[in-house]
Amino acid sequence: MSFLGNLRDRAVESIIRKNETVLRFGEIQEVSIDSEARIAEVRIILRGETEPTMFRGYYGFDDGDKGTELTVDKITCERTWINEALRMAMDGRTLRFAIADYSGDKLAGIAGGIAKILF
C-alpha cells in the first residue's frame, strides 16, 4: 500500500475510534480498513455484553459544507436483530462525518486533503 493510502486508512480508523456515537455503544476492540473495497470492519464489545460483535461499514469520501466528509452508506452486523435494526434506522440514509470536525486530529485533517485528491 502506498504512503498516501496508508495515511488515509489510518485517518478513517481514527475518525471511527473517536466517533461519539460509536463509543456510546461500547468499547472498540479492533478496526480494520479495506480501502480497495472501501469497507471498515469494527469489532466492538457492546455495553452489557462479554463477547465482541463485528460491524461492517461501507464508506467513501464526498465534498460537504465543512469540506471533505467521510460518508457511510451502509452498516451491517453479524447479529441478525442488530442488522435488521440498522437497516431500519439507516433506511437509505448516508451518514456524513466532516473530517474538519476532527481537525484536532492532524492525521484526519491531512487525510481530508488526500481524500480530495484521490477520490
- For residue 20, the enclosing domain spans 3-118
Answer yes or no: is pLDDT of 37 > 90. Answer: yes
Domain count along the chain: 1
* Helical axes 3-18 vs 106-118, angle rounded to 10°: 130
Predicted confidence at residue 19, as pLDDT, reads 87
Helix, strand, coil shares, percent, the chain, to 5? 40, 35, 20
Answer yes or no: is pLDDT of 85 > 50. Answer: yes
Answer yes or no: is pLDDT of 15 > 50. Answer: yes
pTM of structure: 0.79
CB of 107 within 8 A of CB of 85? no
% of the chain residues with pLDDT over 90: 52
Q: Higher pLDDT residue, 100 or 74?
A: 74
Predicted confidence at residue 102, as pLDDT, reads 61
Predicted confidence at residue 119, as pLDDT, reads 45
* Per-residue pLDDT band at 112 (split at 50, 70, 90): low
- Cβ neighbours for 54, distance < 8 A, ≥ 6 positions apart: 41, 42, 43, 77, 78
